[in-house]
A = this chain, B = another copy of it.
Amino acid sequence: MSTATVTKIQRPSKEQRIDTIVESARKVFCSSGFEKGAIEFIAKEAGIAEGTIYRYFDSKHGLLDEVLSRHYSALFDNIHQTLPSIKGPCNRLRYMIHRTLITISEDRSMCGLRTLYARQSEDKRPSLSHDQNRRMAVLMANEVKAGIKEGTFRPDTSPSIVCYMIGGALELTEHSFMRTGKTIDVDKVTDSIWRTIHSGISSSDATTKSLTSLVERFEQAADRLDPA
Interface residues of A (CB under 8 A from B): 33-36, 112, 115-116, 119-122, 144, 147, 151-158, 160-173, 175-176, 179, 189, 192-193, 195-206, 211, 214-215, 218, 221-222, 224-225
Contact = CB atoms under 8 A, between A and B. Distances in A.
A122 B112 CA distance: 8
Given A179-B121, A196-B165, A154 B116 contact: no
A32 to B, nearest CB: 8
Given A115-B119, A164-B173, A167-B168, 5 more contacts: A154-B203, A156-B195, A161-B193, A200-B200, A221-B222
A193 B168 CA distance: 12
Nearest to A61: B35
Nearest to A90: B202
Contact of A161 (B151, B158, B196, B198): B196
A169 B164 CA distance: 5
A171 B174 CA distance: 15
26 contacts: A112-B122, A116-B119, A116-B120, A116-B121, A116-B122, A119-B175, A151-B206, A153-B201, A153-B202, A154-B203, A155-B203, A160-B176, A161-B193, A162-B201, A164-B168, A164-B176, A165-B168, A165-B169, A198-B202, A199-B200, A200-B201, A214-B215, A215-B218, A218-B218, A218-B221, A221-B222
Q: Which 5 A-B pairs have the closest CB atoms?
A: A168-B168, A200-B200, A218-B218, A33-B122, A164-B172
Contacts of A189: 161
Contact of A165 (B34, B165, B206, B214): B165
Nearest to A163: B172
B122 A34 contact: yes
A220 to B, nearest CB: 10
Contacts of A204: 154
A175 B134 CA distance: 12
A160 B158 CA distance: 23
A9 B116 CA distance: 44
